[in-house]
Amino acid sequence: MTKEFVLAHDLGTSGNKASLFDSDGNLLASSFTGYETAFPYSGWAEQKQSDWWKAVKSSTLDLLQKLPEAHKEIVAISFSGQMMCCSPVDEKGNPLCDAIIWSDQRAYKQRERLAREVGDDVGYRVTGTVFIANYLAAKILWLQDNYPDIYKKTYKFLQPKDYIAYLLTGEFVTDYSDASGTNLFDIQKKVWSRDIISQIKIDADKLPELIPSTQIAGRLQKSAADELGLREGVPVVIGGGDGPCATVGAGASKPGDCYNIYGTSSWTSVTTDKPLYDRSQRTFIINHLDENLYMGVGTMQSAGGSFEWLNGWIGGVENLLGKQLDLSSYKILSLEAEQAEMGSNGVIYLPYLMGERSPYWDSEVKGAFLGLTRVAGRNQIIRSVLEGTVYHLKLILDILEENGNEVEEVRLIGGGGRNRFLRKLMADIWGKPIVEMHYKEEATSLGAAIAGFVGVGVKNSILESESMVRKESVEYPDKKNTEVYAKFYEIFLESYKALKPIHHKLDRLIRETQIE
């Protein structure tokens, strides 16, 4: 029987990963090509669209070298991509400036204008999130204010995957999931919000056509096919944003399914059949790859990032030892953390190294250690960092459940999914079974591949494609440990509230005394 493959491209922040999956969910091969991010000024983050294309081309050609006959069996190309980007192009798809990517914060004044002229309550009800500087709406206004010529020449504002899809097909489109990260999309009506667009005076026709994530955007043109070593005419399915693709790759495709992705940052998401609004706007909503579903989401800034920071701070010996033993320094640090007692002998870590998003939306909060004494050693410090990140993720999970979605288990993907001790902490602190997924760092690519298989009819639906997603193991909570951790968790919550005014005062002082 002839095999059917989907070529999935995951255009992330650091590079593009090309992956080839078969219809049983097996990863046959992958190839990664990196690209750079420029930080020309404080708070700015930019990438060159030409680098995205070079990475797609390089990773595709390398992949086909590994599997030289695979191009004959590729039935679709599909995408996952970093979200919240502003990439203005002209009618021929030529970039008019470097892409302003998701982490860029320059449009903070335009965010304030959106909140003032439209209102965060309206923004949240219509678009699923309050207005923030990272999203497309504020970035378009920034271009209007600072580079009106670029704005005037712009034919379409594209996301990274949409730009590559244009180069492959000649079509300007985006999908519902990526559109839900723009502050311009009505998540329930699945249209660009005419009310918001008219209120802030931008041109609606500068936004691309909207289609479902599983729809064919077009077919591979001869020029692109020749450059990539692929057959002309292969269907190109648009796919989705990286978060929604990760959701599908984790198998969270039914209402009530929950997963966490633990990398440098982390988020927890619950799949719902209607938007999961939070009265206090502590979490936000994104459209699922299944056009009839939604995701209630809470994100934290420094999850694995806290562990990375700790490793850089005290992990010198572990890094040297890891190289000699062919072990990750993070694994050695985790083994040290296991030697400490639950609650780290009273040491509590607040994981706010880069401010915090859900549920506080507080850019001024700082990280902190509390409860330090002479008996606090390395093991306690290491363990407290892991516990602190898991405490904060429990806060997000609690809010998602508070809004009417009881979670039976949490699926875990991302680099953190490989850490056995972290999985144990999650189970005990959250009081939930933690499911280790077979594909952890490849889950986002798998989600894009699933969109491709559905788009060309190899699979009938996203839900049917769950058979492609496999579980590895389950970590169950220890009830006694959960009861002990509940007491430390309450102190963790109180610590943020108590230190908030001090952190804000400190942040203002730092800004005032910073040398320009």
pLDDT digits (tens, 9 = 90+) for 191-216: 999 999 999 999 999 999 999 999 99
Residues near 431 by Cβ (< 8 Å), separated by ≥ 6?
Answer: 477, 479, 482
For 169-189, write each residue's pLDDT tens digit: 999 999 999 999 999 999 999
For 466-514, write each residue's pLDDT tens digit: 999 999 999 999 999 999 999 999 999 999 999 999 999 998 998 888 6
User: How far is Cα of residue 301 from the mean position of the Cα atoms in its chain?
Assistant: 11
pLDDT for 515 beyond 60? no
pLDDT for 26 beyond 90? yes
pLDDT for 370 beyond 50? yes
pLDDT for 158 beyond 70? yes
Tokens 């060159």 locate to 48
In which band, very low, low, confident or very high, does the pLDDT at 315 lie, cut at 50, 70 and 90? confident
In which band, very low, low, confident or very high, does the pLDDT at 1 lie, cut at 50, 70 and 90? very low
Query: For the domain 250-440+473-516, what is the CATH superfamily, name and number?
Result: ATPase, nucleotide binding domain (3.30.420.40)
Q: Domain extents for the chain?
A: 5-238, 250-440+473-516
Query: For the domain 5-238, what is the CATH superfamily, name and number?
Result: ATPase, nucleotide binding domain (3.30.420.40)
The DSSP-derived string for 49-109 is HHHHHHHHHHHHHHHHHHSTTGGGTEEEEEEEE--S-BEEE-TT--BSS-EE-TT--TTHH
Residue type (1 letter), 27:
L
Give residue 316's pLDDT.
79
Residue type (1 letter), 146:
N
Q: How far is it, in rounded angstroms, from Cα 199 to Cα 185?
A: 14
What is the mean pLDDT of the segment spanning 85-113? 95
Give residue 511's pLDDT.
80
What share of the chain in percent tops pLDDT 70?
Answer: 99
pLDDT for 270 beyond 80? yes
Q: How far is it, in rounded angstroms, from Cα 415 to Cα 496?
A: 27
pLDDT for 323 beyond 80? no
Q: How far is it, in rounded angstroms, from Cα 451 to Cα 445?
A: 10
In which band, very low, low, confident or very high, does the pLDDT at 2 lie, cut at 50, 70 and 90? low
Residues near 432 by Cβ (< 8 Å), separated by ≥ 6?
Answer: 397, 407, 408, 409, 410, 426, 477
Q: Is 443 exposed, middle or buried (0-12, 13-18, 19+ CB in 10 A)?
A: buried
Strand bridging mode 209-211 / 173-175: parallel
Taking the CB of residue 179, how many other CB atoms lie within 10 A of it? 28
For 429-455, write each residue's pLDDT tens digit: 999 999 999 999 999 999 999 999 999
Same fold, 5-238 and 250-440+473-516: yes
Write down how long the chain is.
Answer: 516
